[in-house]
């Protein structure tokens, strides 16, 4: 096509030259006017032929350009289509073809190429991130489910109430021991505190039943309870001797039987039930996660020592004022107590190897601080009974502070060691062993009394 257009243009030019020469010849033969007309006619004819040729050439270029654009548009559409399938070419051929087309398209249409690339990257970004977000959301939902209580709040609280009813019945049984078992010369109590961590109970039932109802777990509640508590009574008969006045008026020694009822309660904690009932390693790990996250419902049990996260962190690095360390007895208690900062709360715990509960910790500190004291293993209420009452205005560092109603038990239910009576700071086994202010709404509401070790 280009050669044909070139030939037509050259022919028009030659024809114009021929007419020009002819006009020159006429001018010499016939005069100026005729020659001018001939020249103008020839030039006009040549220009007309050349113009038509140029017009055909321009039309052909435009048509060729349109065809090329249409082809490029089709190729671009095909090249970037997400449904394009290269099934009959090798990987090398495909790569080379794509490379050539991209280079050609980019050179001729840089703006369109840039926009196309941006659009492609945007599509890739959206698709990739959509898939990633879908997976992430799926994983997030799974993780959230894995560390959450899955039961309805109403059922969780109903189970907790039912479990506490068992504990109240046990406390009542202990309180009535002497009434129900009269005639003994002595009643000996080795009774640990009654109570449990409600988050542990909910975590255990979650891994055992998932979305449980109180009806579904009613048979399991006493099973867990019996793992947690070991209650027993034992009749002990001791032969004792006493001095009496004989028939002859002289003192004499006689033997007699001395009857003792030994009452023992061991609180093993919910953890004992967990160890017995959760034998699958994966479930055991999940239990630990659910418990550490409090089932993603830290406030579900309301006014509970385990719900008060702020008491575990506020005085983590607390320094007892040096002025209180002038008391050797208190300094000894503090030195022993600080050894166990950070130890976890374990129901019934009474030594470093198994950790402590509140009364176990205070009893251990008293017995091992080097002050010559030995109160044995007491409950919070037992420590209250073993100490002298102190007025709030006379409290000193080293005195004990008692609380009631922190869980279901009669008398004192929690105990700590006062370390700063001015700022009202105590060292106690909360969750974990820590310093804490007892001048908070929670502790003020549960305050019972102060006690001083004899």
Residue 398, phi-psi category: left (phi > 0), alpha (psi -120 to 50), beta (remainder): left
pLDDT at position 143, please? 47
pLDDT at position 8, please? 42
Quick check: 221 and 208 in contact, CB under 8 A? no
- The winner for highest mean pLDDT among 80-94, 105-119, 183-197 is 183-197
Q: How confident is the model at residue 2 (pLDDT cuts 50, 70, 90)?
A: very low
Average pLDDT over residues 139-164: 79
Grouping H, G, I as helix, E, B as strand and the rest as coil, residue 184 is coil
Residue from 361, 416, 411 nearest 171 by CA: 411
pLDDT at position 344, please? 81
Higher pLDDT, 100 or 16: 100
Higher pLDDT, 184 or 117: 184
Average pLDDT over residues 285-314: 75
Q: How confident is the model at residue 146 (pLDDT cuts 50, 70, 90)?
A: confident
Q: How confident is the model at residue 19 (pLDDT cuts 50, 70, 90)?
A: very low
Give yes or no for residue 140 having a pLDDT over 60. Answer: no
pLDDT at position 133, please? 45
Give yes or no for residue 127 having a pLDDT over 60. Answer: no
Report the side by side order of strands in the sheet with 251-267: 186-191, 251-267, 229-245
Higher pLDDT, 127 or 345: 345
Q: How confident is the model at residue 128 (pLDDT cuts 50, 70, 90)?
A: low
Least confident of 85-99, 328-342, 369-383, 418-432: 85-99
What is the maximum alpha-carbon separation in the chain? Answer: 197
Residues 6+ apart with CB under 8 A from 325: 331, 334
- The winner for highest mean pLDDT among 137-141, 237-241, 406-410 is 237-241
| DSSP per residue, 14-71 | HHHHHHHHHHHHHHHHH-HHHHHHHHHHHHHHHHHHHHHHHHHHHHHHHHHHHHHHHH
pLDDT at position 7, please? 45
| Residues facing 314 on adjacent strands | none
pLDDT in tens, 44-79: 544 554 555 555 556 566 555 555 545 544 544 443
Q: How confident is the model at residue 117 (pLDDT cuts 50, 70, 90)?
A: low
Residues 6+ apart with CB under 8 A from 428: 358, 361, 362, 414, 415, 416, 417, 434, 436
Higher pLDDT, 324 or 246: 324
**Strand-pair category, 251-267 with 186-191:** parallel
Residues 6+ apart with CB under 8 A from 20: 39, 42, 43
pLDDT at position 73, please? 44
Q: Phi and psi of 186, rounded to 5°?
A: -150, 145
Least confident of 54-58, 115-119, 431-435: 54-58
5-11 long-range contacts (CB < 8 A, ≥24 apart) are 5/53, 5/56, 5/57, 5/60, 8/49, 8/53, 8/56, 9/50, 9/53, 9/54, 9/57, 11/49
With a pLDDT cut of 70, the percent of the chain lying above it is: 66
pLDDT at position 65, please? 54
| DSSP per residue, 283-341 | HHHHHHHHHHTGGG-TTTT-S-GGG-GGGGTTTTT----GGGGGSHHHHHHHHHHGGGT
Give yes or no for residue 280 having a pLDDT over 70. Answer: yes
Q: What is the mean pLDDT of the chain?
A: 78
Residue from 449, 431, 407, 409 nearest 265 by CA: 409
d(CA 399, CA 212): 45
Higher pLDDT, 65 or 182: 182
With a pLDDT cut of 90, the percent of the chain lying above it is: 46
Q: How confident is the model at residue 107 (pLDDT cuts 50, 70, 90)?
A: low
Give yes or no for residue 191 having a pLDDT over 60. Answer: yes
Higher pLDDT, 181 or 29: 181
pLDDT in tens, 377-417: 999 999 999 999 999 999 999 999 999 988 767 789 899 99
Least confident of 47-51, 95-99, 123-127: 47-51
Give yes or no for residue 15 having a pLDDT over 50. Answer: no
pLDDT at position 12, please? 45
Higher pLDDT, 401 or 442: 401
Give yes or no for residue 105 having a pLDDT over 60. Answer: no
């Amino acid at each position: 096509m280009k050669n044909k257009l070139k030939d037509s243009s050259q022919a028009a030019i030659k024809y114009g030259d021929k007419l020009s020469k002819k006009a020159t010849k006429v001018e010499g033969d016939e005069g100026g006017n005729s020659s001018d007309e001939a020249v103008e006619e020839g030039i006009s004819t040549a220009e007309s032929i050349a113009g038509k040729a140029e017009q055909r050439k321009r039309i052909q270029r435009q048509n060729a350009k349109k065809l090329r654009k249409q082809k490029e548009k089709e190729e671009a559409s095909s090249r970037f289509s997400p449904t394009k399938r290269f099934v009959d070419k090798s990987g090398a051929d495909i790569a080379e073809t794509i490379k050539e087309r991209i280079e050609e398209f980019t050179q001729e249409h840089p703006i369109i190429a840039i926009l196309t690339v941006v659009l492609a990257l945007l599509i890739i970004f959206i698709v990739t991130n959509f898939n990633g977000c879908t997976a992430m959301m799926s994983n997030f939902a799974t993780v959230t489910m894995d560390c959450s209580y899955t039961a309805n709040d109403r059922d969780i609280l109903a189970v907790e109430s039912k479990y506490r009813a068992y504990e109240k019945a046990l406390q009542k049984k202990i309180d009535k021991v002497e009434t129900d078992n009269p005639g003994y010369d002595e009643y000996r109590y080795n009774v640990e505190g009654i109570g449990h961590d409600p988050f542990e109970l909910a975590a255990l039932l979650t891994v055992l039943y998932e979305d449980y109802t109180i009806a579904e777990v009613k048979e399991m509640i006493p099973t867990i309870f019996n793992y947690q508590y070991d209650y027993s009574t034992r009749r002990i008969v001791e032969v004792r001797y006493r001095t009496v006045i004989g028939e002859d008026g002289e003192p004499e020694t006689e033997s007699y039987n001395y009857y003792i009822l030994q009452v023992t309660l061991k609180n093993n904690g919910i953890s004992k039930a967990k160890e017995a009932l959760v034998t699958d390693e994966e479930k055991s790990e999940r239990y630990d996660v659910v418990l550490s996250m409090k089932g993603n419902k830290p406030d579900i049990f309301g006014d509970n020592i385990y719900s008060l996260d702020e008491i575990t962190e506020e005085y983590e690095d607390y320094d007892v004022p040096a002025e209180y360390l002038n008391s050797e007895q208190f300094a000894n208690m503090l030195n022993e107590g600080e050894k166990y900062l950070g130890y976890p709360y374990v129901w019934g715990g009474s030594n470093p190897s198994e950790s402590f509960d509140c009364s176990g910790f205070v009893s251990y500190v008293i017995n091992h601080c080097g002050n010559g004291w030995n109160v044995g293993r007491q409950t919070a209420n037992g420590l209250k009974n073993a100490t002298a009452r102190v007025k709030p205005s006379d409290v000193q560092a080293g005195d004990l502070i008692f609380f009631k109603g922190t869980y279901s038990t009669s008398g004192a239910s929690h105990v700590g060691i006062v370390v700063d009576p001015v700022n009202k700071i105590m060292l106690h086994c909360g969750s974990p062993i820590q310093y804490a202010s007892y001048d908070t709404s929670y502790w003020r509401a549960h305050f019972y009394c102060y006690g001083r070790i004899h």
